[in-house]
Amino acid sequence: MRVLVTGGAGYIGSHAVRDLINSGHSVTVLDNLSKGHREAVDPRASFIVGNLSNQDLLIRTLHSHQIEAVIHFAGLIDVRESVHEPYKYYYTNLSLTLNLLYAMMKAGVKKIIYSSSAAVYGNPDINPIAEREHPEPITPYGRSKLMAETVIEDFGRAYGLSYIMLRYFNVAGASTDSILGEDHHPESHLIPRILHAANEGGVVEIFGTDYQTPDGTCIRDFIHVLDVARAHVLALNHLRPGIQEIYNIGSERGFSVKEVIAACEKATGKKISTIELKRRAGDPAILIANTQKIRKELKWMPLYPSIETIVQHSWHWHSTHPNGLEEPDDSAQIHH
């Protein structure tokens, strides 16, 4: 299938692009490189540097590359930043998604896979969390992702758009050959922050040690980036007229902050310094995915479920790329 991947120069997007091409799909990547890295784009993909705000570019690209489906990764992901700068998140994650959907309708492209987030669930009372749980996001980031989901659902009802929305839990890890890995600027995710501290002798902040969990720290569901990438390939193969679905992607296993730090210490062979701070407002004690729906309907299951494997792959990438990839283009606009 001929696929347009927005944000294909980013962390998850670049892994998915590689998997899509290896699976026989023809891929065009659109990314403005404000957060992504040109070096991360598979050389077998067509690559266009551009913004989702450019309606003419979107329609022209969809037509000229004879695109049959879109996988939409492009967006902003820093939960804490979204609280202080909500405009950026509603504009990028919501308005530009609407712009993309309008271009798709103009070009007659009626299939999309949307990169959503477990942040739409907010602070749920039930764990593991199934897709049927009522979403109640508690941050502008989570709300922007849920609003985009709602727009996609409305396009499905009005224009016959087929969609699969994938709600990720905590994505981590790197490709097994260490060519691709996680390199955000700034880095907000736990595992790379711990590994950076191991590399540079820094200190890892632990926000809250008084949760009702076995060791007092938050428990999260970590899923390997390769398993997330493979879910997109399976979703694309499943996507046909009339399909309108939402799926969680997670390991169904919870790991506490202290357990993740211990796994990083084991992988690196280094003692990692920590500092215990007060809880952050809105941080749930436990977030674990129920993924029975995608396992049953798409025959997906995680191939790398252990935190040890996730951390080992991530550490190998970080230790072989101590300076990361090339710097993102700061002159690019904030939106992809």
- pLDDT tens readout for residues 213-235: 999 999 999 999 999 999 999 99
**What is the pTM for the complete model shown?**
0.94
pLDDT at 336 exceeding the cut of 80: no
- How is residue 157 written in tokens? 């009802």
CA distance 260 to 311: 8
CA distance 79 to 43: 31
The Cα-based distances of 259 to 187, 207, 215, 254 in angstroms read 20, 14, 9, 10
The one catalytic residue among 11, 121, 141, 304: 141
**Domains along the chain with CATH numbers:** 2-173+223-249+289-303 (3.40.50.720)
Residue 151 C-beta-side C-alpha neighbours within 13 Å: 20
Q: pLDDT: is 294 or 321 the higher one? A: 294
Mean pLDDT of 270-285: 88
Tell me what pLDDT residue 284 has: 83
Largest CA distance in the chain: 56
Alpha-helical regions (H) of 128-189: 140-159
Q: Has 163 been annotated as catalytic?
A: no
- pLDDT tens readout for residues 39-62: 999 999 999 999 999 999 999 999
How would you class 39 by CB atoms within 10 Å of its CB: exposed for 0-12, middle for 13-18, buried for 19 or more?
Answer: middle
Q: Which of 13-27, 129-143, 180-194 has the lowest mean pLDDT?
A: 180-194
Residue 267 C-beta-side C-alpha neighbours within 13 Å: 28
Q: How many residues does the chain have?
A: 336
Tell me what pLDDT residue 332 has: 43
